Amino acid sequence: DVKVTQSSRYLVKRTGEKVFLECVQDMDHENMFWYRQDPGLGLRLIYFSYDVKMKEKGDIPEGYSVSREKKERFSLILESASTNQTSMYLCASSQFGSALETQYFGPGTRLLVL
Amino acid sequence: GDSVTQMEGPVTLSEEAFLTINCTYTATGYPSLFWYVQYPGEGLQLLLKATKADDKGSNKGFEATYRKETTSFHLEKGSVQVSDSAVYFCALSGESNDYKLSFGAGTTVTVRA
């Protein structure tokens, strides 16, 4: 079975802290994605990676960075967390670049920034 | 840019009722269209998709038809079960974006026994 795991289901951090969200997939997928999910806004793409060490900005990259040192792992970094980054963060992976390829999602990390 | 508009929820139904969730889109050319579902406590999973006009996607008793003339991709199920309680997201991939999905806001559906 396809599996995307995220390091935490819930996180509470303070304003200004550096936050790492980790995502691991076991499907040998080339592509990995980070989204945030907010009520009434659906999912918005933060960053996308199509290969190790490669990344592209999504719709809302400000305040975030990413790291992909190994194919199976994609990290989202909040350099200095702010309260407006309180959200649900979803990681996904897919086999190839086309959006016709199914994206497989992790269960999400609910982040609260105080 | 590409965008998706879906009906606001929440939607509450009784078991065996008919479900329809409206989805319309704005995009140039011929996008591909998707419905994803998120069950409580889980990540999203693909429910069905359609890649060209008049295509019908179907899965688990759900159906949606790609209507180019009305720019719509409404989701329907004839007889819902309690286990269909979830959040449903309509999404599209535009012709110019190989990988990017644009999601609607999501519709929460609750089915009561």
Q: Return the percent helix, strand and coil in chain A, to nearest 5.
A: 5, 55, 40
| Segments in chain B below pLDDT 70 | 96-98
Note the pLDDT of residue A99. 65
DSSP per position, B42-110: S-EEEEEEE-STT-EEEETTEEEE-BTTTTB--EEESS--GGG-EEEEEEEE-TT-SS--EE---EEEE
**Amino acid A97: pLDDT:** 66
DSSP A84: G
Chain B residue nearest residue A39, CA to CA: B105
User: What digits encode the pLDDT tens for the residues B11-28?
Assistant: 999 999 999 999 999 988
Nearest-by-CA chain A residue for B39: A107
d(C-alpha B99, C-alpha B104), whole Å: 16
pLDDT tens, residue by residue, A36-92: 999 888 899 999 998 898 999 999 999 999 999 999 999 999 999 999 999 999 999
CA distance B113 to chain A (A): 26
pLDDT at A93 over 80: yes
CA distance B58 to A62: 37
A43 with B51: Cβ contact below 8 A: no
